[in-house]
Structure 1
Amino acid sequence: MPRAKRRKPYDPARAHDRRSRDVLRNAEVATVEVDNPLALEPGEKIVALRSIRNDPLARLHSHRQIDEAQYQAGRAFQSDWEKAERGPRAVDPSRDYVDGGQRREPITEGQRKAVLRLNRAERELGADGSALVHDVLVHGMTMEQIGQRRGLHTGRWKDYFSKRFRECLDRLALLYGFATEHPVPVKSLQR
């Protein structure tokens, strides 16, 4: 007669794996460590899955092609863009005028600061760099799509856009304060 298996007693302190086991066939996911929403103590982390299908910045970060400072700078740029985008809208003359329409929302201090940071970022990156950052971070385009949009289809151009995008993220990391500039040590020339 086979022996009955002994069950281990329930241990509430043991970590739970809350990752979904049933992902879609065409899902593109990466593991990420996030704050535990069910934690009893602050600061507890769990491993979760995040979708990277329509998020080029998360894809680059999950494949370790950009570092944490570059990732956070890209997210800060996206946050500033969303804050600034919500501002006053233009009047649409094609719509019928209605009495008692709602007033326009005033520009908040947060929106004003976001626009100032975006303007500074555009000056720092230049026209080409800011267009590249805008295409990737706002429109969610890949390097291949950027090359096709500009009529440049070869792999060299894709590599160039990738390298240029990482340089722009470095500038944004400095601008947003996620990184500090490291001075290049000057080697003494001894003859």
Structure 2
Amino acid sequence: MARARRNKSYKLAQIYDRRSRDVPFNAEVAEVEVDNPLALDAGEKIVAIRSIRGDPLGRLHAHHQIDEAQYLGGRAFQNDWERAERGPQAMDPTREHVDGARTREPVTESQRQAVLRLNQIERELGTDGAALVHDVLVLGLTMDQIGQRRAVRTQRWNDYFARRFRECLDRLALIYGFATETGTPRAGRRR
């Protein structure tokens, strides 16, 4: 007896497609190109899915509201903040009491450099800009939430905060070296 032939053709390109098709009901994800960890050739890229639910900077980048330099500047700021934040830690009351104090961790050179960069950023952005960047990049607030914290709840204020935040991201990209300054030179600077 002859075997029945299958009508389904095999597509070899889809065999190695490891992207997840099942995402949770309330997931917010975006596709991003990353270096292939299994690649034989350097620089090979693959498409991965990243969660942008609790990441305002990632959401702005995924929706093409900020460019790559602004995104990298924001990530560099977050990295410096995390590095500088490691410091004195609270005592754990659940641990057994031992005579003697725990020695204080010394401040590392990378911590010191991060603090110096954060101080420079605060001077460059000003008090309001530094507070806005901190609210979005460290606390993860949206423009609506920032408006609520400052008791201004209109769309006009949300647009202002968004525009000001993009200006601050431009400045961060310049400070961290992901962008170069173009146009007319600032007052007090000579070419």
Unaligned runs of 5+ in 2: 186-191
2:22 aligned residue: 22
Pick the aligned partner of 1:3 from 2, 5, 15: 5
User: Structure 1 stretches of 5 or more lacking a match?
Assistant: 186-191
Q: Distance in 2 between matches of 1:73 and 1:9?
A: 41
- Equivalence map 1:1-191=2 (5 Å): 3-5=5-7, 16-89=16-89, 98-184=98-184
Please give the secondary structure, in 1, of the residue aligned with 2:46: strand
SS in structure 2 at match of 1:49: strand
Task: State TM-score, norm by structure 1.
Answer: 0.85
C-alpha distance in 2 between matches for 1:9 and 1:31: 23
Other structure's SS at 1:30 match: strand
* TM-score for both structures, normalised by structure 2: 0.85
Seen in structure 2, the aligned counterparts of structure 1 residues 180 and 24 have a Cα distance that, compared at 3 Å, is same
- On the 8 A contact 1:27/1:51 being kept in 2, the answer is yes
Residue 128 and residue 6 in structure 1: after superposition, are their counterparts in 2 closer, same or farther (change >3 A)? closer
Amino acid at match of 2:27: A
Percent sequence identity over matched residues?
Answer: 70
1:188 is matched with: none
* Cα distance, 1:144 vs structure 2: 0.3
Deviation of the 1:17 alpha carbon: 2.4
Paired positions, count? 181
2:42 corresponds to which letter in structure 1? P
The whole-number CA distance in structure 1 between the counterparts of 2:11 and 2:160 is 57
